[in-house]
Structure 1
Amino acid sequence: MSSRAAPFIVLVAGEASGDNLGAQLIDALRARLPQARFAGIAGPRMIAAGCEPWERAEELALMGLFEIVPHLPRLLRIRRRLRARVLEQRPDVYIGVDAKEFNLRLAPVIKAHGIPTVQYVSPQVWAWRQGRVRTIGRAVDLILCLLPFEKPFYDAHGVPAVFVGHPLADRIPLHLDPYEARDALGLVRQQICIGLLPGSRRGEVARLAPPFAATVKWLLERRPQLQFIAAPANEPARRILTAALAEAGVAERVRLADGQAQQVMAAADVLLLASGTATLEAALVKRPMVVAYRLGWPTSFLLKTLQLFRAPFFAQPNLLAGRQIVPEYFNRQVRAEVLGPALLAQLERADREQLMQTFTDMHGMLRRDASASAAAAIVALIDDGTECEAHGERRA
Structure 2
Amino acid sequence: MEASKAGTAVRPKILMIAGEASGDSRGAELIRAIRKKVPESVFFGIGGDRMAGAGMEIRRHVRETAFLGFLEVIRHLPFIRRVFREMTRFLDERNPDLVILVDYPGFNLRFAGIAKKRGFRVVYYISPQIWAWGGGRIRKIRKTVDHMIVVFPFEESFYGRAGVPVTFVGHPLTDTFHVEETRESFFASLDLDAGGKTLGLLPGSRKQEVRRLLPEMVGAARILKTRIPGLQCVVGQSPTLSDEDYAPFLSGTDIRGVRGRTHALMRHCDALAVASGTATLEAAVAGTPMVVVYKMAPLSYRIGKRLVRVEHIGLVNIVAGRRLVPELIQSGARSERIAGTLWPLLVEEDPIRFMREGLRETVSRLGEPGAADRAADVVVRFLGGADKG
Other-structure match for 1:265:
266
Partner of 2:37: 32
Aligned partner of 1:350 in structure 2 is 350
| Residue 314 of structure 2: aligned partner | 315
Once residues 312 and 250 of structure 2 are traced to their aligned partners in structure 1, the CA distance between those partners, rounded to angstroms, is 29
- Residue 51 (structure 1) aligned to one of 34, 56, 59: 56
- 1:332 matched to 2:337: no
CA 354–214 in structure 1, closer or farther in 2 if over 3 Å, else same: closer
Match of 2:131, SS state, is coil
Matches of residues 215-254 of structure 1 in structure 2 within 5 Å?
A: 215-234=220-239, 236=241, 238-246=243-251, 251-254=252-255
SS at match of 1:256: strand
Q: CA–CA distance in 2 between the matches of 1:180 and 1:158?
A: 51
Shift of 1:351: 4.7
In the alignment, is the contact (CA less than 8 A) between 1:290 and 1:343 conserved in 2? yes
Q: Say if 1:257 and 1:219 are closer, same or farther in 2 by CA, change over 3 A.
A: same
Write the distance in 1 (CA, Å) between the matches of 2:365 and 2:383: 28
Deviations 1:226-279 (A, max 9, x none): 111111114746434331233xxxx43211113321121122000011111111
> Does structure 2 retain, via aligned residues, the 8 Å contact 1:12–1:41?
yes
Confirm or deny: 8 A CA contact 2:21 2:240 kept in the other structure: no
- Superposition pairs of residues 278-317 of structure 1, within 5 angstroms: 278-304=279-305, 307-317=306-316
- 1:391 aligned partner: none
- Tell me if structure 2 keeps the 8 A contact 1:201–1:237: no
CA contact (8 A) 1:8 1:93 kept: yes
Give the conservation status (yes or no) of the 8 Å contact 1:151–1:161: yes
Q: How big is each residue's C-alpha offset from its partner over 1:86-107, in whole Å with a ceiling of 9 and x where there is no partner? A: 1233211101112221111111
Cα pair distance change 1:235/1:171, threshold 3 Å: closer
CA contact (8 A) 1:87 1:110 kept: no
Q: Determine whether 1:81 maps to 2:86.
A: yes
Any idea what the Cα deviations from partners look like across 1:101-124, whole Å, max 9, x if unmatched?
111111111112221101111111
User: Quick one: distance in 2 between partners of 1:9 and 1:319?
Assistant: 32
RMSD: 2.1
Structure 2 partner of 1:392? none
Give the distance between the partners of 1:354 and 1:268, measured in 2 at CA: 17
Mapped to 1, the partners of 2:316 and 2:182 lie a distance apart of 21
Q: Give the secondary structure class of the aligned counterpart of 2:50.
A: helix
Change (3 A) 1:90 1:130: same
Stretch of structure 1 that moved more, 329-338 or 46-55: 46-55
Contact 1:60–1:99 (CA<8 Å) still a contact in 2?
no
CA contact under 8 A between 1:191 and 1:225: conserved in structure 2?
Answer: yes
Which residue identity lines up with residue 56 of structure 1 in the other structure? H
Contact 1:175 1:285 in 2 (8 A): no
**Alpha carbons of structure 1 residues 155 and 108: separation in structure 2 relative to 1, 3 Å:** same
The aligned runs of 1:1-150 (5 Å cut-off) are: 2-150=7-155
1:186–1:219 Cα change, 3 Å = same
Which secondary structure state, in structure 2, belongs to the residue aligned with residue 187 of structure 1?
coil
Are the counterparts in 1 of residues 178 and 263 from structure 2 also a CA contact under 8 Å? Answer: no
State the percentage of identical aligned residues.
36
Any conservation in 1 of the 2:63–2:240 contact (CA below 8 Å)?
A: no
CA shift, 1:354, in A, is: 4.4
Q: Residue 190 of structure 1: SS of its match in structure 2?
A: coil
Is the contact made by 1:39 and 1:52 (CA closer than 8 Å) also made in structure 2? Answer: yes
So what's the TM-score if we normalise by structure 1? 0.90
| Partner Cα separation in structure 2 for residue 37 and residue 224 of structure 1 | 55
TM-score with structure 2 setting the length: 0.92
Displacement of 1:360 in angstroms is 2.9
Relative to 1, partners in 2 of residues 1:156 and 1:17: Cα closer, same or farther, differing over 3 Å?
same
After superposing the two structures, state which structure 1 stretch, 251-260 or 69-78, moved more: 251-260
Structure 1 residues 242 and 42, CA gap change in structure 2 (3 angstroms): same
Distance across 2 between alignment mates of 1:179 and 1:317 = 28
Match of 1:374 in 2: 375
Contact 1:174/1:360 (CA < 8 Å) preserved in 2?
no
Alignment-derived partner of residue 3 in structure 2: none
- Matched to 2:18, the amino acid is A
Q: Is the 8 A contact 2:30 2:372 kept in 1?
A: yes
Number of residue equivalences: 382
**Within 5 A, what are the aligned runs for 1:179-194?**
179-194=184-199
- C-alpha separation between the residues in 1 aligned to 2:322 and 2:386? 45
**Unaligned segments of structure 2, at least 5 residues:** 1-5
Counterpart amino acid of 1:356? R
Q: CA deviation at 1:177?
A: 5.0
- In 2, Cα distance between equivalents of 1:151 and 1:67: 31
1:264–1:112: structure 2 CA closer, same or farther, 3 Å change rule? same
Letter aligned with residue 315 of structure 1: G
Match of 1:198 among 181, 195, 203: 203
